[in-house]
Amino acid sequence: MEILTIFLLLLILLLFGGKVALLSGKVNRLEDAVRRLQVERTSDEKTVDEQHVQAPPRPATSVPQQRIRTPSRTREEWEALLGGKVMNLVGAIAIILGTGFFLNMRSTTTG
């Protein structure tokens, strides 16, 4: 039983370790892109003379903006969420538990 626990922990560690490495790489690329954009922005601000820039004129009549209520999720989005993600997670947990019980039963019957 200890070997199964160690195996499952190593499997989980490998899965999450890979995800962490991928996400870390994405964060680094995004940070570099933000730095480049900040440098471009500061160089653009230096070239524009702020004293001669005028704000656009406001409209004579201001119409209050109404909030547009969008549905939280459409039917297709809910279906994709439940069918694609939730059921996938349930199936993965069922396979892991089934494998654990199988190996546990196998080890108790051979002894």
Q: What is the pLDDT along the chain (111 residues), one digit of tens a residue?
A: 788 888 888 888 888 887 888 888 899 999 999 999 888 887 776 665 555 556 666 666 666 677 777 767 788 888 888 888 888 899 999 999 999 888 888 777 765
| Pairwise CA distance, residues 109 & 103, whole Å | 10
Whole-model pTM? 0.34
The verdict on residue 59 lying in a domain is no
| Pairwise CA distance, residues 48 & 25, whole Å | 35
The verdict on residue 92 lying in a domain is no
The pLDDT, as a whole number, for residue 53 is 57
**How many domains does the chain contain in total?**
1
The verdict on residue 8 lying in a domain is yes
Cβ density class 33-55: b for 16+ within 10 Å, e for less:
eeeeeeeeeeeeeeeeeeeeeee
The pLDDT, as a whole number, for residue 96 is 93
The answer to whether the CB of 8 falls within 8 A of the CB of 96 is yes
What residues make up the domain containing 33?
1-47
